[in-house]
Each structure stands twice: as C-alpha cells, then as structure tokens.
Structure 1
Amino acid sequence: MRHSVLLASTALLLAAPAWAEEGMWLPGQTPALGDKLKEAGLELAPADLGNLKVAPLNAIVSLGGCSASFVSPEGLVATNHHCVYGSIQYNSKPGQDYLTDGFLAKTYGDELPAAPGSRIYVIEDLRDVTAAMNKGVTTKLSGIERYNRLEANRKALISECEKQANRRCDVRPYFGGQTYFLQQQLEIKDVRLVYAPAGGIGNFGGETDNWQWPRHTGDFGFYRAYVAPDGSSVPYAKENVPYKPKSWLKIADKPLREGDFVMVAGFPGVTQRHWTAAEVRHNFEQVYATDQQLRADYSAAIEKAVKGNKEAEIKYASILKGSDNYKKKLLGEIAGADAIDLLGRKDRADAEFRAWVAADPARTKMYGQALTDLDALVAESNQARVDSLRLATINRAQLLTSAQLLYRWAKEREKPDAQREPGYQDRDRLSMRERLTQVERRFDAGVDRVLFEQALGEYAKVAADKRNAPLEAKIAEIRMDRLYGDTRLGNTSERIGWMDKPAAEFEASSDPFIQLAVAAYPGQKADEDKAKERAGRLQAARSAVMAGQIAFAKEQGRTLYPDANGSLRFTYGKVMGKQRDGLIWTPFTTAEGLVAKQTGRGEFDAPKAAIDKLKARDFGRYADAKLGTLPVDFLSTVDITNGNSGSATLNARGEFVGLAFDGTLDGVVSDWSYDAAINRTIHVDSRFMLWTMDKVDGAQRLLTEMGVGQ
C-alpha cells in the first residue's frame, strides 16, 4: 500500500474521537490513531494494522455486498450464513433442501458452484486519486458537464487500473467528492459453496429474533476461492484449483472475555452521517414510512403467492429474506431516531456549523454560497425521493427488468466502450450474463405476475407527469395475459441470446416484455439525464460544504471520518453488554439460552443432534471456563452497518474470534448518528462455530485446514 500518499490525504481528517468506539476508519488512518488504538488495547503495531500487504487486512475480502475473510491457506472464506444464503437457495430444490438441512462438502470435488454472479474480491490497494478526478473540473461547468467530466475521469482511472489482468477497480467519493480514492481488488470469479449449517442453526430465531438481543444464531457459512492452475482468475471449471491467499486469519486459541478489545474489518455499505438536517428530516418524516410500507406489502405478496408451492417457496426464499430484513431495520431506524432525538441533534449540529461559517467573512466567502446551493438542491432532490420509491417497484417484475437490461445493453453497445454507462461496458459482460442467468432459479411466472400487478398499483399513485406514459400505454395495449403468455424471456437460453442482438432487433420484436422495454427507454433516458444534471450540481455544492465541515471539525479537535461507501474500513471497540431501566443485557449468550428457545417448530427448530449435545453439555474444548458453558453470540461496541455482514471480528492480536452479523434494533439508527449508549453489534462467537462444525456436522476436514483440528 502507498502509505505516504494515503497518510498525507487523511492526516487532516484526524483528531481525538468523541468515543473510542465511533468511526469506520480508512486503513491509512491507523498510524495517526495509534495512541488511541493502543490505549483501547490493540497489541499489533497500528501501522501494521493499516498495511494492506500483511495480515490482518490483506486477509479481508468483499463478496460484493457482504464482507468475509480468508481462514486457511487453501482459499477458504468465512462469512455469514445469510451472505451465502443466495447460493444455498440457488443449489436447492424439492428433495434437496439445503436451506433447511444445510450443506457440507466432504471433499473439494463436492464443493458446489455458488450462485451466478458470486465473486470474492481480494483487496490490494486503496490510493488517493483526487487530483486525477478533478482534472478539467471547473466552476464554469454546468451540472451535466461536471457529472460527465468526473465520470470520464473515473472511467479512465478504472481502465488504466484494469490493464492489470483479473483486477476489478473502482473510484469512490469521500466527503461528497471532496476526496476520491481508487480501490483495487483481485476479482475471483470461481466461487464455491463449501459449508453452511442447517437453517435451524444458521437462521435460528428467524425474523422473530432478527435485530434483537438476546440472540442464539449460528450465522456463519463458508465459500472457497478457485483459480485456474496457472493462478489466473477464470469462471468455474472442473480443473480449477483452490486460490492461495497471501495471508489468512489465525483462529484465536484464547477465550474472549467481557471488556476485551475487538475490531471488525470489512466493507460497510452506506451511511448518511454527513447529510444535512433537511435531508435527514425529510428521510424520517416521509421517505422511510413509505419505504417500510412498500416492503411490508411486497413481503406479504410473496408469502401469499408462494404458499403451498414448495418449489416457488425455495425460489423466492432469498428475495423474501432480504425484504423482511430491511423492512424491520427501517422500523428500528424510525424508533431509534426518536430515542436519540436524531432530528434535534442534526438541527443543532447544522446550526453550529452555519454559525461558525457566518462568524467569519473569509469563511462566509469560502462556504456560504455552497451552503445556499446545497440547501436548494436538497429541497429539489427531496421532492423526487418518495416518488422514486413507488416508481421503482415495477423493477420487481423480473422479466421486465431483464428486458430493460438487455435493451439498454444493446443501446450502449452502439457507443465506444469508454463512453458507455457504468454497468454496460465490456468489463461488465460476464456479470451481466450471470445476472440474467440467476433469474432461472429465482423466478416463477405466476408469482412474478402477482408482484408486477401489485407494483403497477403503487406506480399509479405517482402524479401522471412523473410516470412513463409510453410504458403505461404499452402495458394497457398488451395486457397481462399476453405479457406472460407470449413472452419467451422466461427461458434462460432465449434471455441470454438477446445479449448479442442489435437494438434494431429489439425494436422489431414481437416479444411483449421486449416491447415494454423499448417503449420505456426514451422516458427513462430523459429522467436519467435530469438526475445527472442534479448530481453534478450536488457534487459541486456538497464537496465544498464538506471541506468546511472538515475545517470546522479540525478547529474543534474532533474527528470527521468519511461516511461508509463500500470501501475497506475497520472499526474497534470492546466486548460489552448494556443496561437500561429494568433491563440488563449480558455480553454473551449461551447454550442454555438456545435450548430454552428451542420449540422444534418454525423459526426455533435447531437440529436434534445439536439440541441433544447441548442438553448433555457435550461442549468439548469449546466451553468457556469462566462462563461455565458454551458461548453462542456476543455483543460489542464496534461501529458497523450494512455491508459489514460477514466481517471478521478480531481480537487485540488480530486473531479471528467471530463474525459480525447484526445490530440491535434500537441501534440501527447508527447509519445516521452513532450513540455509544445504545449502539451494539452482534457477533457469532467462533467457539460456537467450531463446536457446530465439530460436534454437529462433522466438518473435521475444514477444522484441520483452519489449523484447529483435534
């Protein structure tokens, strides 16, 4: 890693944090945090912790939505059960229900191809490219011109980076585009499902326990990375061999205790801690209520449509799980915002910053106009957000989405590759094909029709001038019976075959879903251009305001770390429960608690073999002497969000002690503001993982590979 560049660009962001636990830190910030890390209990050298050339950070990987880590020299990857759930579902069918029964490959040859599109991304570099991104960007550019210039610069940087074979690169904005970093990763395309415990362990408690404490869920599973015999990254082939990572995490052999230092490394998705007070208020007063209701209706429609149809239940299991998870999180964020007075907190912080700007003519000259511009743009953007939620519901119709992707692919192929939209360049061909292939095992025509009809009802609630009139007219002309009766897009080979056809063939097609895609395209393109214009103006205003926020924080001696954006971060804290009036949360849950919850039905139906051994206190070497039992899950104060699922939890020596998999419902408001009094992360304890592998599922082959065999 290029420490000198990264440190120079992040040093100005650092000051003493308000709480040791708060912050999703960039790797290059570790040396400047050294004293705080050591004080908190870190036993590694802080500079080594931030070094992407050595463990532990170079053993941390992304799954493109979840986080994970190498835990063996043979490319074995540990992550959450819910992160491999899509691959478990994809490989399941009636009579082969891995969702319920679990899956364990006895040999390398038994390991199953993961769902199409599965990837393991190995972090290699994270470097500052702000100067290159700002080349040619001036205040004279219009919004769309600014957007296009930044996008051209971004594509050029990515293209240069990806001249290295098998690399996947991306440039992400930090502080609203005040700074940019390029993230370089090795892309491994052959991913295989190795092991997932039974659903009664991996998803014990289901939606009832989701986002709750106490928790007794063994939320873990394993993939393996494969490459060609010459070490190159290629799609699945029988002759491929396990990838040899440069580093892998050692499984801790010392017990984790209350108060111990822990850290989590992964790829957190998105937080909004630097949004303006007006954005936050609109989100909680209008957007979230609509979003939560839309997701609740969506889940209910799926449940009703698949009831009594086992094949359809399996096909939609992953989709339903994702919808249920997020709708519950939204409820938690709404409640959490009230509990911590989020809106009042944001109003006060906003007022303090604006007063600081107004108190000095130089600061007013530097940041005042940007604040005015940002306020106007936020108001403009807020108006479109609720409508966008309703309009987007039609994308739940998988054949319509497939047709739109295919037609857009054809239209983009009419341009030189460098001028195509992100997601439609030559570099995206394989992932596009895999995305279209996934449909075959996650689609049922009857269910899809129900969801499409429901979506059209929501779509119609938006004002007519904001809807796509040609699309609506074409749907009315074709009607539902013909849409689903005459299309051939439900056939995978037919669907994939459209990838190489020119736009003219789409425009002449009689396939009803293709006709919908062609009718919708002009309006979608016009809406996209309007969004780009607004995004360009937003970037100009927000980046300037964030420069002011950085200066304000530095003057106050505060940290201003960037919002999460899918890039590699680490966070640290301690193993700790919490208490409030009349309620005490101990930091560990145990085997006894799991047995007490067991009903043998529904969401609380762990395998009999597991329950029998727990009742017999057959804990083996995995028992905790101080607790006097087998730990299952634990709480910590580390700062995480979506995308951190599957992140390795490490002790003070950088050793693997578990996996982060959830937060508590009252603390999910941390996407907007961290509060040390309520924020807790839930981890599955590595000792429960190892016990399940050893005592329940007989995964001794994997235990030996991980260095913890008998």
Structure 2
Amino acid sequence: MSKFFLSLLLLTPINFLFADEGMWEPSQLPNIEKDIRAAGFKGNIKKFSSLFEHPLNAIVSLGGCSAAFISDSGLIATNYHCIEGSYLQFNARRLEEDLFKTGFLAKNLDEEAQSAPGARVYITQESTNVTKAVLKGTTEAQSENERYKIIQTNRKNLIKNCETSEEFQCEVRSFYSGETYQLIKKLIIKDVRLVYAPPQSIGEYGGEIDNWMYPRHTGDFALLRAYVSPANESKEFSKENIPYKSKNFLKVSKGGIKESDFVMVAGYPGRTNRLLPYPKIKFDVQFGFKHYVEFLKSGIDLMRDLTKDDEAKALKYRGSISGYENYYKKISGQVEGAENFNLLEQEEKNWNKFLDFLDSNGSTSEKNALDALLEISNEQNSESINNMYYGGSSLIGTASTIYRHAYEKTKPNEDREPGYQERDYERLVNGMRGMEYRFDAEVDKGIFLFRLDKYRNVNSEDRRKTYSELLKLDGPYEETVSVVDEMYAYSSDLLDMSKRIELLDASIDELNASSDPFIMFARSMFNEGMEREKKNKARSSLQQKNISIFIKSLRRFYKSQGKDIYPDANGTLRVTFGNVMGVELNDGVYYRPFTTLEGISQKNTGISPFEVDTKQLKLINNKEYGSYEFSEIGSVPVNYISNLDITNGNSGSSTLNAKGEFVGLAFDGMLETIISDYKFIPQTRTIHVDSRYLLWTLEVFEEDTRLINEMKIVR
C-alpha cells in the first residue's frame, strides 16, 4: 500500500459525536451504557465489555481482517475477500482446478487445506495500561532522537518480558495518538486451514461494479479452522495437529434480525484518526485525493495491460489489481462525499469553535503544540506528494529487507530495530515464500519503469539523491531503462524462493561481496536511508509529544460540551453498535434494509461479475428456501444495512444481536457515505452479509451437513 494512502487513513478531522458513532474500546462500554441501552441492548454490559468473557473472547484477528470462532472446534467465520490471498496460493497449488470458479468445501478434517505461509489467528489475552512504563526516563530537556530511543527501548523491554513463549505475540499500541499506551498480549495460532470458500459467483457477486454499493447481493463469507498440536500448543502446519478447542464461540442465529433490531460489530478496525487538525483535512480533500486517485487509476490500467495476455501473471496480480480498484473507488467516493456533505465547510466551523476555546482556555504550551503540529503536517504533505511514485520494484524492496536484516543482526537482539529482531525471523521467511505467488519479474519491471518515468518529473532537489543517481533520473529516460533492464537481466538469487530465504541468513560482509544488482542497489542506498530514518524518528517523536498535548486540549473542549471522545482505531479490539435500518440518500430513493435471493437472479446477466451459478439460480427460481425464509420479506435475506461505524480492518467482523449471537459479517460501506472515514454522518451505513444466507448456502446450495451440525445454531 502506498505510504500516501496510509497518510489518508491516518488523517481525519475533529468530529462532533452521534450516539451511534464510535469504535469504542470494550472497557469504555459501561461509560456509554445509556446510549447502548437506548439502541436496544438488554444484556449484561459488564460481561459484554470484558475481553475474557462471551462474546468478546470469541472475536479474533487475522492480521488485517477480523473474524470469530463459531464452534468449539476452532471453526472461524470471516469474509471471502479476507482469505483471498491464502485462496490465491492454494489455487496456484491446485493448477488442475479453478477454485475461484468452483469454490472449495472440505468434506472432512483431512481435506481442510493449509493456508498461505504466514497465515495466523490472533486471540487477545490481556490488555494493560503501560503509559508510565513507556514514557519512563523521558524529559523535556531531551533531544527528539533521545526521546525516541528511550521510548523504543521501553517498548521493546515491555514486549520482551510479555512474550513468555513463542505462542504469544505482544505489542505496545498507542491510544489517543500517544497520550496513553496499552500492552496487548495475543495468543498466536500458526496452523490455519481453509474449510469453505463459496464459488466466486457467490463470494464476489457483483464484483467491482457493486463494490461500495447498495442494494448488494454478495455472499462475502468464508470459513477457516485453527489447529494446534496434540499437546494444545501453537505449532506450524503439521498433519499431527488437531482442531483448536475454542474457550468460547458464537452461537449462530437462524432467526436472524429484523428492521430496527439492535446490532453490534466486534472486530479489529485498522486505522483512523478523527482527532487531527482541520488544515490537514483541507489539504487532503482539495489536493491529496486528486493525486492519489490518478495514482491508483494509472496502476490499475498498467497492471491490467501487463497481465492481459498471460493467465498465470493475471492470477498473481489479481489481489493487487483488486486492492487498487477498491481504493480507487473508495477515494473517488470520498471526493464526491466531501462535496455532497459540505465536509470542509462543516469542519471549518467545528475547528474555529475549537480555536476559540483554545484562545479563551488554552495555555501557551497548548498553543505552541498546535503550531508545531501544523508545521510538521505541512512538511509531510509535501513529502507525500513528491514520493507518491517513489519505488515500485518488489525486488528492490526484497533486497532492502534482506540487507537491513543482515545489518541488524550485527547488534544484540534487544538493540535491533523492531521488525528485524529474532521474533520477526519467521515473518520475514514467510514473506519470502509468499512472494512466489504474487510476483512476476516482467510485470514488476514494467511497474517500476512506469513509476520511474513519473518520479523523474519531481524536482531533482525533492527526489531521493542516491536513488536518482543510481537510476540516472536526471538524464534521458532511455538511460534509466537501460539500467533497469540490466538489473532485472542479471539478478538470479532474488528470483528463487529458496535463495531468497538463504539470503536472510547471510552476513553483512557476505552481502557486501554480492554481485546481485539488487543487493548492490540496496547496499548503495543504505546509508542515505538510515539518515532519513533518523530524521523521521526525531520528527515522529516531536509529533507524538505535541499530539499528546493537543489531545488533552481536545478532550477538555469536548468535556465542556458534555461529550466523550473515543480513541482512534489502531488494530485493537473495538465495538460499535446501532440498529438495522434503511436509508434515504437521494431525493425520493429509499434503500430498504434487506436484500433477497430474488435480487441475485434479477441482476443475473450470465456474464461475470453478474453470472449466477446454475444450481443456485434453480434453487432461487424454485423458492427452495429451506428453513431460512424471513417471513417479513418472503425470502432468504442476503445482505442488510445498519448505522454502525466501521473502517478498514473491520472486514470479517462478526455482527452480533442483543444476545451476543452471530447474525452476520460486516464487509463493506456505502459509497455515498464513505466520507465517514473523515466525518461520521447520520446517513452512514455498514453493509453486512446475513447469517441466514451463510447457512442457506451451506445447507441448501452446498448440501453440507458436517459444518451445519458442528455449529450451535439457535433461533
């Protein structure tokens, strides 16, 4: 993902809160019990807010998506699009079949298939406030680099003491942009297997055309299973491993939900930052979005062109193209949404109210912190635009990782940079393996040359100096092409998976003696890169210190209005709640909350992405609903919408009813209101796949009994 896009995810404005807005920490739920009960919740709020009780201890992370246990034998429900990477690699191992077309259903435990290298399930075990421990030893008199080093050392020590065995992964996460810190301890399940993925005609029905759109008819669900050793220890894939015995799991609702019912989503949303200054939003909306949309569109067109005549290449870049298309449509929708909902006008008013509050009630240190924050933001704005087309070569990225790893190995483990410690070796190896299924040298070179042609248009003083010199970006483009052609022609080590892994074990001296052009390139770039990293760390430390002061000001501002604030999404477990409800977005057009099986056949064109499986079409036409008909709509519900607040990372999050039962999976938002990443608006809607459609697909369409019998299905 582009660093620029990450900045877009990070930079969202100050918002005034609605009752159903917020990605709340579980521990905050008792504080907003009145709002939750007003939405229809009738359970025990203390139990629902505990990480160690049902239902939250059934919620897991897949490291980028969310999921949940739905049986006591480690069966996991998540989105189809969340397992696509694993599915892609599994499909590549089964060349005689097109599993995207046919789907995959394991008939027994032996048929459940190994996922991609590095596939993991993370189960949160503990969450501890460690703010004092993280900031211990920091003073106002220290330089920013000194402060950064102290904080990093403290974080690494906390993690080291927390990771009592290889079964656990610990991390220190900042909340409220560094005002507080939590030490999160997770159990890692290392053997994750594919159990069920529907045919693409179900799992991706509507494709990119329907992406971010409603009414929707997508069966965006898949099933995995967690496995452990016979001794109940987390181990890598082995035939001797057995299904993990889930301490808790979600009961699956056959009765489902109806309009106005209370629903909540529990999952691991990735990144938001609704607490940063308005000037940054103004830059993104008026300038940054435009450039990023152009970047994404050019990437889509390029990858399609480079892979159009080769099915093997197209398969490898399927995920990349899909990801670019997803964000292209999303950012385009945000541009339109910002205009339709007068985002800048509203946020400027909110911002001015905050500034008035600060003028009247703020200290000098608060005002200085805000000034420093805006100055850093302006620097980052310029860099994000200048560096948008920087990079693009997977081989350079791989070589840089290998070289940095060798450099870090010269230090004691505790002094290494995070990401290159002994605890990270397995992840690095899996990255080298995974490259086998998502990389082609010719396509990679084509992408790299295209990006270089764009990057050379940046003013030379704003480009990376060594990078520009090595690739001859100040000369004729033909010279750049010649350099790149030679690099790809004479590299062999990085193109072989086993050799890539071997290079991770090479010493820095061995790499310095290497004649591989990409290793040589990484070596030449190294010193300049380390200097830039040092500068960025100092800036990051300064930014964190000033954001912490800014957040305190912001909290006082909200408190003066009788409001609470929730921390930005940061990949930790969160809960959002609301109700099932339709929405009117355009004059006279009301979107009903549920879609039906009949809607699938109505969209059928016989051509992908609206090609309905022959068997499924027959079942729909014959109204073979099994026991899953929802009487209020006279059919099986496929998708539904709610007013919940989600973002990237919530994909695969279980949707729960007031009893904590599984009633579906969150998987998308509506394009018209996708600006909610920047400002939550009352019309915001989350799109869910209904649990009844999942059960109908398994029992009626697939004629499965094994998985149906394994789940605890309730009315």
Q: TM tier, shorter chain?
A: over 0.9
Matched, 1:198 2:195: no
Aligned counterpart, 2:6: none
Aligned counterpart, 1:402: 398
What amino acid is the match of 1:71?
I
Does the aligned pair in 1 maintain the 2:300–2:325 contact within 8 Å?
yes
Does the aligned pair in 1 maintain the 2:603–2:610 contact within 8 Å?
yes
Aligned counterpart, 2:462: 466
Matched, 1:86 2:92: no
Does the aligned pair in 2 maintain the 1:103–1:194 contact within 8 Å?
yes
CA deviation vs aligned residue, 1:583-640 (integer Å, no higher than 9, x gap): 1100001111110001111211121111110111111101101111111000000100
| Alpha-carbon shift at residue 458 of structure 1 (Å) | 2.5
SS in structure 1 opposite 2:269?
A: coil
Distance 1:428 1:155 in 2: 13
Aligned counterpart, 2:19: 20
| Alpha-carbon shift at residue 272 of structure 1 (Å) | 2.2
Aligned counterpart, 1:700: 705
| Alpha-carbon shift at residue 165 of structure 1 (Å) | 4.2
Matched, 1:254 2:258: no
What amino acid is the match of 2:528?
G
What amino acid is the match of 2:546?
A
Matched, 1:660 2:672: no
Question: Structure 2 residue aligned with 1:436, among 427, 432, 436?
Answer: 432
CA RMSD, Structure 1 to Structure 2 (Å): 1.7
Aligned counterpart, 2:417: 421
Distance 1:650 1:521 in 2: 49
| Alpha-carbon shift at residue 286 of structure 1 (Å) | 2.0
Distance 2:151 2:358 in 1: 28
| Alpha-carbon shift at residue 229 of structure 1 (Å) | 1.2
| Alpha-carbon shift at residue 185 of structure 1 (Å) | 0.8
Does the aligned pair in 1 maintain the 2:55–2:250 contact within 8 Å?
yes
| Alpha-carbon shift at residue 333 of structure 1 (Å) | 1.3
Question: Structure 1 residue aligned with 2:624, among 605, 610, 618?
Answer: 618
SS in structure 2 opposite 1:91?
A: helix
Aligned counterpart, 1:375: 374
SS in structure 1 opposite 2:564?
A: coil
SS in structure 1 opposite 2:235?
A: coil
| Alpha-carbon shift at residue 17 of structure 1 (Å) | 8.5
Does the aligned pair in 2 maintain the 1:270–1:671 contact within 8 Å?
no
Does the aligned pair in 1 maintain the 2:389–2:452 contact within 8 Å?
no
Aligned counterpart, 1:627: 633
| Alpha-carbon shift at residue 436 of structure 1 (Å) | 1.0
| Alpha-carbon shift at residue 164 of structure 1 (Å) | 4.2
Q: How does 1:569-648 map to 2 (within 5 A)?
A: 569-579=574-584, 580-648=586-654
SS in structure 2 opposite 1:263?
A: strand
| Alpha-carbon shift at residue 388 of structure 1 (Å) | 2.8
| Alpha-carbon shift at residue 435 of structure 1 (Å) | 0.7
Does the aligned pair in 2 maintain the 1:286–1:386 contact within 8 Å?
no
Distance 1:668 1:17 in 2: 17
Matched, 1:212 2:213: yes
- TM-score w.r.t. the length of structure 2 is 0.94
Q: Sort the Cα spacing of 1:698 and 1:515 in 2 relative to 1 into closer, same or farther, 3 A.
A: farther
- For structure 2, the 5+ residue unaligned runs are 1-14, 473-478
CA deviation vs aligned residue, 1:15-54 (integer Å, no higher than 9, x gap): x984221010001011122222122111221111111111
CA deviation vs aligned residue, 1:116-164 (integer Å, no higher than 9, x gap): 1211001112221111111112211222222222111111111111124
Does the aligned pair in 2 maintain the 1:33–1:46 contact within 8 Å?
no
Aligned counterpart, 1:683: 688
SS in structure 2 opposite 1:505?
A: helix
Does the aligned pair in 2 maintain the 1:207–1:325 contact within 8 Å?
yes
Distance 2:690 2:125 in 1: 28
Aligned counterpart, 1:411: 407
| Alpha-carbon shift at residue 564 of structure 1 (Å) | 0.9
| Alpha-carbon shift at residue 293 of structure 1 (Å) | 1.3
- For structure 1, the 5+ residue unaligned runs are 1-15
CA deviation vs aligned residue, 1:307-334 (integer Å, no higher than 9, x gap): 1211111111112111111111111111
Aligned counterpart, 2:543: 538
Matched, 1:231 2:232: yes
Aligned counterpart, 1:490: 495
Matched, 1:42 2:41: yes
Q: How does 1:518-557 map to 2 (within 5 A)?
A: 518-557=523-562
Does the aligned pair in 2 maintain the 1:276–1:346 contact within 8 Å?
no
| Alpha-carbon shift at residue 641 of structure 1 (Å) | 0.2
Aligned counterpart, 1:163: 164
Matched, 1:565 2:565: no
Aligned counterpart, 2:515: 510
Q: How does 1:253-292 map to 2 (within 5 A)?
A: 253-292=254-293
What amino acid is the match of 1:160?
N
| Alpha-carbon shift at residue 366 of structure 1 (Å) | 4.8
| Alpha-carbon shift at residue 466 of structure 1 (Å) | 3.2
Does the aligned pair in 1 maintain the 2:282–2:344 contact within 8 Å?
yes
Does the aligned pair in 2 maintain the 1:92–1:314 contact within 8 Å?
no
SS in structure 2 opposite 1:479?
A: helix
Distance 2:279 2:142 in 1: 26
CA deviation vs aligned residue, 1:516-535 (integer Å, no higher than 9, x gap): 11122122222211111111
| Alpha-carbon shift at residue 261 of structure 1 (Å) | 0.3
- TM-score w.r.t. the length of structure 1 is 0.95
Distance 1:555 1:64 in 2: 38
What amino acid is the match of 1:403?
A
Count matched residues: 689
SS in structure 2 opposite 1:556?
A: coil
Distance 1:148 1:364 in 2: 28
| Alpha-carbon shift at residue 385 of structure 1 (Å) | 1.7
Distance 1:699 1:528 in 2: 54
Deviates more, 1:463-472 or 1:612-621: 463-472
What amino acid is the match of 1:414?
T
Q: How does 1:327-346 map to 2 (within 5 A)?
A: 327-346=328-347
| Alpha-carbon shift at residue 545 of structure 1 (Å) | 0.8
Matched, 1:674 2:680: yes
CA deviation vs aligned residue, 1:403-439 (integer Å, no higher than 9, x gap): 1111111111111112211111111100110011101
What amino acid is the match of 2:599?
G
Does the aligned pair in 1 maintain the 2:254–2:692 contact within 8 Å?
no
SS in structure 2 opposite 1:122?
A: strand
Aligned counterpart, 1:29: 28
Instruction: Tell me which stretches of 4 or more aligned residues in structure 1 moved more than 6 Å.
Output: none
Distance 1:421 1:449 in 2: 30
Distance 1:138 1:511 in 2: 46
Aligned counterpart, 2:387: 388
CA deviation vs aligned residue, 1:455-505 (integer Å, no higher than 9, x gap): 212222322233333334434587233222221211101111101101122
Does the aligned pair in 1 maintain the 2:251–2:714 contact within 8 Å?
no
Question: Structure 2 residue aligned with 1:454, among 423, 430, 450?
Answer: 450
CA deviation vs aligned residue, 1:532-553 (integer Å, no higher than 9, x gap): 1111111111110101111111
